[in-house]
Amino acid sequence: MTIENMKATSFKDATFEDWQEKAAASLKGKPIDSLYTNTYENITLKPLYTKGDLPDELAGDLPGQGDYRRGIHSLGYQSESWHIANRLFYNNVGELKEKINHALSKGQTAISFEVKPELFSDNSALMSLITSINNKYPMSLDAGLLQTPLLAALTISSKEAGTSEKPTGFVAADPIAQASVIGGLPTEEDEFFADWAKVLEEGAQHLPEVKTVLVNSVPYHNSGANAVQELAITVATGVYLLQKLLDNGWELKKALSKVVFHFAIGSNFFMETAKLRAARLLWSKTAEAFGAEPEERKMVISAETSKFTKTIFDPYVNMLRTGNEAFAAVLGGIQYLHTDSFNEPSGTVNLFSERVARNTQLVLKSEAHLEKVADPAGGSWYVESLTKELAEKAWELFLEMDSRGGIYETLKTGWLQEQISLTAEAREQDIATRKKSVIGTNVYANLYDVIAEPGVKGSKSNYMIDSLDSAISKITSDNSLLESFKEVIPSFTSLKLNRLAAPYEELRFKAKKLESQGIQPKVGLICLNELKKHKARADFISGLLSAGGIHAERSGEVDSISAAIEFINSSKASRFVICGDQSSYHSFGPELAKDIKREHDVKLYLAGIPDENQSEWRSAGIQEFLHVRSNALQTLSSMLQDMEVESSAKA
């Protein structure tokens, strides 16, 4: 064929139907529906997206335009990069001061730390810290119910400094998110928000560039909420707090300028990226409904990598999780980002883990060059379709919440907690049955991890101060602020914050406790016939047991019932799993279990499900069939509980 002929050659456009036909042939009888995936958001993900899935309203939209789903800056991060805002942990104010200086010298670009009561135990030390903060760096602080004294300290420092450089960033609070965690507001609803509006008004006068209103969806995420629920809660909270400020005399433009949104970023990469894009779309439409001008509808987003997805055991895997989540956050278009330290769940954060967390973002900036492209996810048929579907479903849920009285009313009645718990239970069930994997925890667990059980951590501060004037007075008179804090008394059921891995971690610590008492949690594997016939199921059972901290002791190649009994005689285990292929189960039959039970008072399990004679196997003494659909968490918990009882009986 000549070059001219090649240039004139055209190809038929491939249609979705053509792809379906080819896919059906490749599936060899399996239904095409097996390629579709259902998510916790009740969204069905298709195996292939086409140009037809691109939302019509997106045509012509560019970053910094339209509904801002593609970002709030026309040049993306090239005009203003995101801030590395890793939260610093500390024991005292002096240590915090050193850590802030160190972090800023190593690439951190925003001042962020845990705001807790200890910060206010020494007013002179607090003021020394605030004075030392370089206003060239924005602040990224969720102040919670300690917002008032922190704003007071910043106000005093700003007045005394007398420089043109004023604090920027945010020192913000979300009273509703705080209430969801502790079970209520500190005082009656209208009274609280009237006082809060006054504090923010004074703060706006002294700290005009500091945002003070936080819309924080992190507690809901860490309770198991899905992306649709997080988005609906975010809009509902934003509307509620905005309306409270308007009711207390604020102008719309001013109120909107003080709002910053905070999200947790989970492990479902594209879902999390689309979540942030949908959030901007939803807030733009919401602000428009209030009468805001286009420039006032922009959403400033702070984010943090998820605590819900992190594990205590095999902690270095958390580095990979954090990197994945940070990548999704940046593609989603955040302005501030906290990346977790890999050992944060165990409470052993140190300078090394903080450096790794900080460098995760530096790699994304400087080596992956993510700050060089405006909205890299924009135009993706999949991401754009997912963004639209998330936004539509979230808006429906927001309207339902609104019909029930709004965010705070749905918390007071328990309706919102119930909706989130349904999603959390679905997640927990998938983890329990290992339908969803947590690497290093419910699959591929390392039994030789040396991890100490973390101590009981105190909950986030449940204290508050009513007045900015009062806080300023107590700081300037050098009296401890802690004396004036009021404790919050719960008035409704709070959210249940958790991590996906926690149930398996409890089992691992229970197993380690047995080991510390000189009792190794162990189960024997009776491996039938040659290696190729039992290896697959023996490996599966070993992996299942390790998720609960239980060691698997394998027999040699068992070719007779007498060999199986001989292995049991030599083992100190009191539980055994028979492992083999279907042909082995046919050849040995339930008689194997009967003879073992006749000789020994042990508990027997069978790996997999036999093709036939299931009732006979059970009658012969098989307690449970262990297979890929088993509730691993339930099985392991039962085994360890029995081992505990046995060890207590021997003591």
Question: What are the tens digits of pLDDT across the range 530-541?
Answer: 999 999 999 999
pTM of the model: 0.94
The encoded tokens of residue 247 equal 């009711």
Check: CB of residue 581 under 8 Å from CB of residue 533: yes
Lowest mean pLDDT among 95-104, 118-127, 192-201: 118-127
- The CA distance from 423 to 356, in Å, is 32
Tens-place pLDDT, residues 457-515: 554 556 666 677 777 776 776 666 666 566 778 899 999 999 999 999 999 999 999 99
In whole angstroms, give the CA distance from residue 241 to residue 236: 9
Start-to-end Cα distance in the chain: 88
Q: What number of residues does the chain have?
A: 651
222 phi and psi angles, rounded to 5 deg: -75, -5
The Cα 300–Cα 140 span in angstroms is 12
Give the pLDDT confidence score for residue 14 in this predicted structure.
79
**Tokens describing residue 321:** 């999780």
Percent residues over pLDDT 90 in the chain: 78
Confidence of residue 60 (pLDDT cuts 50, 70, 90): low
Contact at 8 Å (CB) between 497 and 181? yes
Check if the beta carbon of residue 621 is closer than 8 Å to that of residue 576: no
SS3 assignment, position 174: coil
Mean pLDDT of 307-320: 97
Residue 34 has pLDDT above 70, yes or no: yes
> H helices of 39-122, where?
93-105
295 burial level (CB within 10 Å; 0-12, 13-18, 19+):
exposed
Beta bridge partners of 336: 83, 302
Two structure tokens written together for 134 = 């370089």
Distance CA 511, CA 550 (A): 7
Contact 349, 90 (CB under 8 A): no
- Give the torsion through C-alpha atoms of 176, 180, 186, 190, to 10 deg: 40
Computed on alpha carbons and rounded to an integer, the radius of gyration of the chain in Å comes to 29
Residues 6+ positions from 443 with CB-CB distance below 8 Å: 434, 437, 543, 547
Q: Are 353 and 344 in contact (CB under 8 A)?
A: yes
- Rounded to an integer, the average pLDDT of 330-341 is 98
Q: In 3D, which of 546, 553, 550 has the Cα closest to residue 514?
A: 550
Three-class SS of residue 337?
A: strand
Residue 209 phi, psi (nearest 5):
-95, 0
What residues are paired with 45 via a beta bridge?
Answer: 37
Mean pLDDT of 557-586: 96
User: Using the 8-state DSSP alphabet, how is residue 111 labeled?
Assistant: B
Query: Would you put residue 264 in left (φ > 0), alpha (ψ -120 to 50) or beta?
Result: beta
Instruction: Read off φ and ψ for residue 22, nearest 5 degrees.
Output: -65, -40
Per-residue pLDDT of 357-415, as tens digits, reads 999 999 999 999 999 989 999 989 999 999 999 999 999 999 999 999 999 999 999 99
CB 210 within 8 A of CB 139: yes
Cα–Cα distance, 406 to 416 (Å, whole number): 10
